Amino acid sequence: MSAFDLTGRRALVTGANTGLGQAIALALAQAGADIVAVGRSPMDATRELLRPTGVAFTEVQADLATLAAIPDLVAAATRAGRVDILVNNAGIIRRADAIDFTEADWDAVMDVNLKSAFFLTQAFARGWIADGAGGKVINIASLLSFQGGIRIPSYTASKSGLAGLTRLLACEWAGRGINVNAIAPGYFVTNNTAALRADPTRSADILARIPAGAWGDPADIGGAAVFLASPAARYVHGIVLPVDGGWLAR
């Protein structure tokens, strides 16, 4: 059996209805994992995309803007079996100059990107620790976990915080059989980057900085997720793995 084989595992991916979350769900399914897809809207497109893989697909609609959704989400996700892999991908972004940034935009981003990610992870980790079988957590961080960016103060704070939580939880749970790691995507073609790609000046500046010379395709992130979810990463704890076309190397 390949060290990257996920057959017999169940993976929950938040924000799986589009973009990076959908691509990660597909990659995990292609490696053999059954998928629990979580999102605010119906996931018909994700279901159809994964259908050729033949894995079991469970859809859970939930809005992670508040913690109130978590108990029902966990119950629905585990009804058909244990969740072994948690991918915290759901995230939102708000853009404005720091001098004008509002409390509402700050709280909205922090609640989804950081607060809900932590408490959802806590909910599953309690079960993993109780049954002694461990689990895998993959947080979707960002280049803004390493850098400041501009006009996205709450997003930068949330993704920097998520990188810190990844390391803290790895320290606490590595000895309990739980691997906690993160992926830091670079500039990908997703809904979150639509405004940047529509701005000719910003888009050109970004492309000029990427050694690979192109925006990332969501499919480019799948291999990193499969690795971190697999037995091949058994001794990998607390890393934040950039998938960025070389951005941080420049």
**Residues recorded for the chain:** 250
Helix or strand (DSSP H, E) at 229: helix 222-229
To the query of whether residue 235 is one of the catalytic residues in this protein, the response is no
Listing DSSP states for 24-36 in one string gives: HHHHHHHTT-EEE
Main-chain phi, psi angles of 211, to 5 degrees: -55, -35
For residue 178, give every residue at least 6 positions away whose Cβ sits within 8 Å of its Cβ, in sequence order, or none: 125, 128, 129, 134, 135, 136, 137, 169
Q: CA neighbours within 13 Å on the CB side: how many for 63?
A: 5
Q: Indicate which residue of 124, 146, 155, 215 is catalytic.
A: 155
> For residue 6, which amino acid is it?
L
Q: Which two tokens stand for residue 14?
A: 């938040």
Q: Which residues form the catalytic set? A: 155
